[in-house]
Amino acid sequence: MPPTVTLAVTRYRPEQESEPALQNYEVPFRKDWVVLDALNYIKDRRDGSLSFRWSCRMGVCGSCGMMVNGSPKLTCAAFLSDYLPGPIRVEPLQYFPIVRDLVVDITDFMRKLKQVKPWILRKEEKPLAEGEYLQTPDQLDTYKQFSMCINCLLCYSACPVYGLEPSFIGPAAIALAQRYNLDSRDEAAPERLEILSEHDGIWQCTFVGECTKVCPKNVDPAGAIQQYKLTGAAHWFKSLLLPWGMK
């Protein structure tokens, strides 16, 4: 085990520089340190001007996503020991505009999330006094996986379609739409289908499958999208063959 390891970190200070560049920092090596700990060491002891996002340090808030040696990772779950001997390249999440150093702008995703109507939408609400909607454990299981998304956006950074066509609605937004479509309490699946059948919706996806590979919570957005395509195609056929049967 070496005593130190080198990190090559993207620095971009828009007030001084016109483009980002990598800067080397030497940090102590510890078996239980992750890349995020190394970044905090740099900020506390070497260079207080390094900006990055982080919060929970346990993989549930989704703040600390960055590119580590070219792959999108949660830096709180990327052990330095897995990247020896280094140098370890730490760059901002791919396919997002860089605001500063390792901070990217995610307003595009926030807008797309709202577009897919990620909430329970019903024609009629049950009064609170009547208690909870019944939902069996099996019904919960059908959408549970897609509800685990922490909005870390690693999937967007892994998706070449998003990189080439930034208008693509993206893996996480579609997975969250599916989460509500499959929730037995929701009734807005047709409405979401209309939104997601448009040009920048599910049909932009060519099933590269990288999103599922990098997802730290096993949400399987690629699976969500392909299943949605099946539903979408079936719906289209039905509307073609039985137009009077559709609501």
Partner 1 sequence: MSAEAHYTPYHPKWYRRRVSVWWWLQKGSYTTFVLRELTSVFVAFFALVFLWQLRALVQGPEAYAHFLVRLKTPLFLTVNSVALLFVLFHAITWFNLAPKAMVVRLRGRRVPDWIIAGLNYLAWLFLSGAVAWILLRG
Partner 2 sequence: MEVFSCDVLVVGGGGAGLRAAIAVAETIPEIRVAVISKVYPMRSHTVSAEGGAAAVIKAGDRLDEHAYDTISGGDWLCDQDAVEAFVKEAPAEMVQLEHWGCPWSREPDGRIAVRPFGGMKVERTWFAADKTGFHMLHTLFQTTLKYDVIQWYDEWFVTKLLVDEGRCQGVVAIELATGRVQAITAKAVILCTGGCGKVFPFTTNANIKNGDGMALAYRAGAPLKDMEFVQYHPTGLPFTGILITEAARAEGGWLLNKDGYRYLQDYDLGRPEPRPVLRSMELGPRDRLSQAFVNEQEKGRTLEGPYGHFVHLDLRHLGEQLIDKRLPFVRELCVKYENIDPVKEMIPVRPVVHYMMGGVHTDIHGATPLPGLYAAGEAACVSINGANRLGSNSLTEILVFGARAGKSAAAFASGQREPSPFVLAQARDEHRRLEEKFLRKTGGREKIATLRAEMQKTMEDSAGIYRTGAVLQQAAQNLRTLQERFYDVSLDDRSYTFNTELTAALELSYMLDVAEAIVQSALQRRESRGSHQRTDHPKRDDTQFPQHSLAYRAEDGPPRIEYLPVTITRWPPGQRVYGK
Q: Which residues in this chain contact partner 2 in the complex, by CB under 8 A? A: 13-16, 30-32, 34, 43-45, 47-49, 51-63, 76-77, 79, 81, 99-101, 103, 105-106, 110, 113-114, 117-120, 125-126, 128-129, 131-137, 139-140, 143-144, 147-151, 176, 180, 183, 185-186
* 148 secondary structure, DSSP code: G
Token readout for 190 is 């047709």
Q: Which partner from the list partner 2, partner 1, none does 208 bind, CB cut-off 5 to 8 Å by kind? A: partner 1
Question: Is 94 a residue that touches partner 1 (CB under 8 A)?
Answer: yes
Alpha carbon distance 174, 168 (integer Å)? 10
Are 139 and 145 in contact, with CB atoms under 8 Å apart?
no
Q: How far is the CB of 221 from partner 2 (least distance, A)?
A: 15
Alpha carbon distance 56, 70 (integer Å)? 23
Question: Is 148 a residue that touches partner 1 (CB under 8 A)?
Answer: no
Phi-psi region of 122 (alpha: psi -120 to 50; beta: other; left: phi over 0): beta
Angle at 107 between CA 182 and CA 173, to 5 degrees: 15
Q: Which residues bind partner 1 (CB under 8 A)?
A: 12, 14-16, 19-20, 49, 70, 94-95, 97-99, 105, 137-138, 141-142, 160, 163-164, 206-210, 212-213, 220, 222-223, 226-227, 229-230
